C-alpha cells in the first residue's frame, strides 16, 4: 500500500513539474518578439462571441488530448482553462467557455477581462500548437455609473484591453468618428475630443436633437481598421398615449404630433410609419422634410408638425410615430384606421346582375389584432340594422375586420347601404354605398328626331310666353281728361276744348 501511495505522489509531482514547465514555456514564448511568428492576433468588441483556433498537428489527434492556457501578462502564472478537452469548471467563466469539434476554444459574450494570451497544446509535449492574442475594445459612458439621459453632456471612454506585454497602443491608433464616418478631432459641434492616452481615449458629448447621432471608436493599425465599437446615446423617451383615428378611403387624414410648449420648429420632428402588413418601420419625414417614397407626393407637414396624408388608401393604414427632439425624445403614436366599402370581388359589376355582394373592410395597425366581434354592422338608409336575410339583402356576418352583404338591385334612388365600425356603444366610422343603375344609351334615329322636336317646341313655348309678358307690360292706362268738381252738391263738368287755349273763370 505504501509503495502505491509513493508511486502516486511521484506521478503527481512529475505532472506538477510538467505543468510548471509549460507555464514557464508559455511565459518565455510570449516574452520574446522573435518567437511570435505563429501568433494570431484577434480584435473583438465587448459582447462578441470569439473562436480561438488551435492547429492540430494531425487529423488523428482527439480533442480529448487538448489543453488551453490563459495568461494576462508574463508576470503572472498561466491558468488552465481546458484540460483533456474539458472546460475546467473551477474557472469563474466556465459557463461562457466551450470546445468545438475542431478543438477551438469558444468564449461567449466576452468582456475586457477576457483579453490576454491563449495557448493550446495537444498531448503531453512541451510545445504549443497555437497562440492567440485577444484584444477587446470597449466603449461606455465615463465614469461607469454616469447616466447620459440626466445631464446636458456626458463623457464617452473607449479602451482597447490587450495582452500587457504588447505595450501601449501606437499614437493616434484610437480614433473617434461620427455616423457619417468623419473623424472627430479637437472640439466641434456637439463634441470635444480628449485625445489618446495609452490605450484609452475620451470624448465629451453634448446631447443632440437627432435620432441618428452615433459615435464610433476605431482601433487603426497602419491604414487598416482592426476593430470598432459604436455608441448611440440613449435619451430619455417620453411616450404619449396612442391616438386612434378613423377615416374612409379617399379622405385626407391629419395625424397630430403632440409637442411640448417650448418646441416651436418642425425641423426637429421625424415621422415613422409601420405598415399594417408587417412591422418594418419606414422613415417618412426626417428633420421636418418629407423623404423620398412612393407616396411622397401625398404627404406634407403643416405648421403644427402634423402629418397630412391626402387621398388615403388601404396601404396607408398602420401606426405612425411622431418623434420630436427637444432636450429629450417625445414620441406620439397615431394609429390610422381606414374603412372601405366596395363590390366583392373587386371586379364585380353591380349594374349587370340581379344581385351583388358588398364587402366592408377596416384596415388598421397589425399590432391591434382582429376587430372585436360584431363591431362591423350593416344598416340601411333608415338606420335599421340589416341582420340575417331580409327584403333585398342577405348579411353574411363578420370575419375578422371584414363583413359581406349580398344585395338585390331595387329600382329606388333612395336605397343606401352603410357599413359602421362600432366600439363599445360608439360608432367610430361609417361608409356608404348607393348602388349605381345602368341607364340606357341606345338611341334610334326616330327617337333622336322626336327628342329634337320636343326641345324645339319647348324653346318656342318659352319664347312666346316671354313675348306676351313683355307686351302686356308696355301698355299704359288712358288719362281721364274730364275734370270733376262739386259745389253745393251739383256737379260741374269742365270740358277741355281743343280749339281754346285757356279757360277763364268768373
Q: Note whether 215 and 305 are same-domain residues.
A: no
Q: Which residues pair with 82 in a beta bridge?
A: 68, 87
Report yes or no on 466 lying in a domain.
no
CA dist., res. 67 & res. 63, Å (int): 9
Q: Note whether 163 and 270 are same-domain residues.
A: no
The 10 Å CB-count burial string (b at 16+, else e) for 358-379 is bbbbbbbbeeeeebeeebbbbb
**Range picked from 33-47, 231-245, 294-308 for highest mean pLDDT:** 294-308
Q: Are 429 and 248 in contact (CB under 8 A)?
A: yes
309 by Cβ neighbours in 10 Å (0-12 / 13-18 / 19+) ranks as buried
Residue 31 has pLDDT above 70, yes or no: no
Report yes or no on 181 lying in a domain.
yes
Q: Which residues pair with 79 in a beta bridge?
A: 70
Report yes or no on 456 lying in a domain.
no
Q: What is the CA radius of gyration of the chain?
A: 46
| pLDDT > 90 in the chain, percent | 38
> Residue 254 contacts by C-beta under 8 Å, 6 or more apart in sequence?
302, 306, 307, 308
- What pLDDT, on the 0 to 100 scale, is given for residue 277? 59
Report yes or no on 483 lying in a domain.
no
Residue where one domain finishes, among candidates 186, 206, 231: 231
Q: Which of 293, 300, 347 minimizes the C-alpha distance to 315?
A: 293
Residue 153 has pLDDT above 80, yes or no: no
Residue 134 has pLDDT above 60, yes or no: yes
Report yes or no on 331 lying in a domain.
yes
Q: Note whether 38 and 75 are same-domain residues.
A: yes
**Using the 8-state DSSP alphabet, how is residue 144 labeled?**
T
**Range picked from 37-46, 405-414, 424-433 for highest mean pLDDT:** 424-433
- What pLDDT, on the 0 to 100 scale, is given for residue 183? 92
**In the chain, what are the helix, strand and coil shares in percent, each to the nearest 5?**
15, 40, 40
Q: What does DSSP say about strands 483-487 and 490-494: parallel, antiparallel, or unpaired?
A: antiparallel
Q: Note whether 47 and 64 are same-domain residues.
A: yes
Calculate mean pLDDT across residues 13-19: 43
CA dist., res. 312 & res. 408, Å (int): 30
Q: Note whether 34 and 114 are same-domain residues.
A: yes
Q: Are 247 and 338 in contact (CB under 8 A)?
A: yes
| pLDDT > 70 in the chain, percent | 70
Q: Note whether 129 and 17 are same-domain residues.
A: yes
Q: Is the peptide bond before 107 cis (omega within 30 degrees of 0)?
A: no
Report yes or no on 373 lying in a domain.
yes
Report yes or no on 479 lying in a domain.
no
Q: Which sign does the torsion angle of CA 42, 46, 48, 50 carry? A: positive
Q: Are 115 and 134 in contact (CB under 8 A)?
A: yes
**Which residue is it, cell 402634423?**
306
Give the domain range for residue 284.
237-337
CA dist., res. 299 & res. 281, Å (int): 17
Residue 400 has pLDDT above 80, yes or no: yes
Total structural domains in the chain?
A: 4
Residue 102 has pLDDT above 80, yes or no: yes
Report yes or no on 440 lying in a domain.
no
Q: Note whether 288 and 395 are same-domain residues.
A: no
Q: Which sign does the torsion angle of CA 150, 156, 161, 164 carry? A: negative
Q: Which of 208, 330, 321 minimizes the C-alpha distance to 260?
A: 330
Residue 378 has pLDDT above 60, yes or no: yes
Residue 353: φ, ψ to 5°? -105, 165
What are the C-alpha distances in Å from 203 to residues 140, 152, 225, 284? 11, 14, 19, 32
What are the C-alpha distances in Å from 221 to residues 109, 170, 225? 25, 8, 6
The 10s digit of each residue's pLDDT in 249-278 is 999 999 998 776 555 678 888 999 987 556
Cell of 70: 490563459
Q: Note whether 224 and 149 are same-domain residues.
A: yes
Q: Note whether 246 and 262 are same-domain residues.
A: yes
Residue where one domain finishes, among candidates 410, 433, 456: 433
Q: What is the mean pLDDT of the chain?
A: 78
Residue 87 has pLDDT above 60, yes or no: yes
Calculate mean pLDDT across residues 350-379: 84
Q: Residue 86: in which H helix or E strand, if any?
A: strand 86-87
Q: Note whether 265 and 224 are same-domain residues.
A: no
Q: Which sign does the torsion angle of CA 345, 351, 357, 361 carry? A: positive
Q: Are 215 and 141 in contact (CB under 8 A)?
A: no
For residue 344, give the CATH number of its domain. Answer: 2.60.40.10
Residue where one domain finishes, among candidates 113, 135, 157: 135
Q: Note whether 109 and 166 are same-domain residues.
A: no
pLDDT band of residue 409 (cuts 50, 70, 90) is low
Q: Note whether 124 and 23 are same-domain residues.
A: yes
pLDDT band of residue 293 (cuts 50, 70, 90) is confident
For the ranges 15-29, 121-135, 180-194, the lowest mean pLDDT is seen at 15-29
Amino acid at each position: 500500500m505504501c509503495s502505491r501511495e509513493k508511486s502516486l505522489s511521484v506521478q503527481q509531482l512529475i505532472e506538477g513539474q510538467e505543468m510548471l514547465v509549460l507555464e514557464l514555456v508559455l511565459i518565455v514564448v510570449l516574452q520574446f518578439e522573435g518567437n511570435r511568428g505563429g501568433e494570431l492576433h484577434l480584435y473583438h468588441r465587448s459582447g462578441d462571441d470569439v473562436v480561438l483556433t488551435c492547429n492540430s498537428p494531425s487529423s488523428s489527434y482527439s480533442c480529448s488530448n487538448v489543453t488551453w492556457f490563459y495568461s494576462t501578462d508574463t508576470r503572472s502564472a498561466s491558468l488552465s482553462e481546458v484540460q483533456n478537452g474539458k472546460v475546467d469548471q473551477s474557472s469563474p467563466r466556465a459557463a461562457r467557455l466551450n470546445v468545438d469539434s475542431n478543438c477551438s476554444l469558444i468564449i461567449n459574450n466576452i468582456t475586457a477581462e477576457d483579453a490576454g494570451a491563449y495557448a493550446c497544446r495537444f498531448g503531453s509535449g512541451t510545445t504549443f500548437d497555437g497562440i492567440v492574442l485577444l484584444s477587446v475594445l470597449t466603449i461606455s459612458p465615463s465614469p461607469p455609473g454616469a447616466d447620459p439621459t440626466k445631464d446636458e453632456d456626458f463623457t464617452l471612454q473607449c479602451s482597447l484591453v490587450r495582452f500587457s506585454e504588447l505595450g501601449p497602443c501606437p499614437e493616434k491608433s484610437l480614433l473617434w468618428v461620427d455616423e457619417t464616418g468623419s473623424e472627430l478631432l479637437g472640439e466641434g459641434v456637439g463634441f470635444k475630443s480628449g485625445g489618446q492616452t495609452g490605450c484609452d481615449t475620451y470624448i465629451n458629448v453634448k446631447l443632440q436633437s437627432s435620432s441618428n447621432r452615433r459615435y464610433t471608436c476605431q482601433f487603426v493599425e497602419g491604414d487598416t481598421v482592426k476593430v470598432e465599437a459604436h455608441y448611440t446615446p440613449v435619451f430619455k423617451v417620453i411616450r404619449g398615449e396612442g391616438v386612434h383615428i378613423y377615416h374612409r378611403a379617399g379622405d385626407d387624414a391629419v395625424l397630430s404630433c403632440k409637442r411640448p410648449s417650448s418646441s416651436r420648429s418642425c425641423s426637429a420632428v421625424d415621422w415613422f410609419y409601420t405598415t399594417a402588413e408587417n412591422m418594418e418601420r419606414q422613415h417618412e419625414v426626417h428633420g421636418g422634410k418629407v423623404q423620398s417614397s412612393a407616396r411622397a407626393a401625398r404627404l406634407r407637414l403643416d405648421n403644427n408638425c402634423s402629418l397630412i396624408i391626402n387621398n388615403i388608401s388601404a396601404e396607408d393604414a398602420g401606426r405612425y410615430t411622431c418623434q420630436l427632439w427637444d432636450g429629450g425624445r417625445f414620441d406620439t403614436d397615431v394609429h390610422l384606421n381606414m374603412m372601405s366599402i366596395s363590390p366583392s370581388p373587386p371586379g364585380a359589376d353591380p349594374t349587370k346582375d340581379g344581385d351583388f355582394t358588398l364587402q366592408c373592410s377596416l384596415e388598421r395597425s397589425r399590432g391591434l389584432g382582429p376587430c372585436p366581434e360584431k363591431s362591423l354592422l350593416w344598416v340601411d338608409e333608415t338606420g335599421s340594422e340589416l341582420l340575417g336575410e331580409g327584403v333585398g339583402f342577405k348579411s353574411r356576418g363578420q370575419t375578422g375586420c371584414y363583413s359581406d352583404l349580398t344585395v338585390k338591385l331595387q329600382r329606388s334612388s333612395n336605397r343606401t347601404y352603410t357599413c359602421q365600425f362600432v366600439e363599445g356603444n360608439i360608432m367610430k366610422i361609417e361608409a356608404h354605398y348607393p348602388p349605381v343603375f345602368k341607364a340606357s344609351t341606345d338611341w334610334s334615329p326616330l327617337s333622336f328626331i322626336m327628342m329634337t322636336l320636343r326641345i324645339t317646341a319647348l324653346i318656342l313655348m318659352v319664347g312666346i310666353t316671354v313675348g306676351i309678358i313683355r307686351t302686356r307690360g308696355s301698355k299704359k292706362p288712358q288719362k281721364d281728361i274730364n275734370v270733376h268738381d262739386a259745389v253745393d252738391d251739383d256737379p260741374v263738368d269742365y270740358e277741355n276744348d281743343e280749339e281754346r287755349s285757356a279757360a277763364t273763370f268768373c
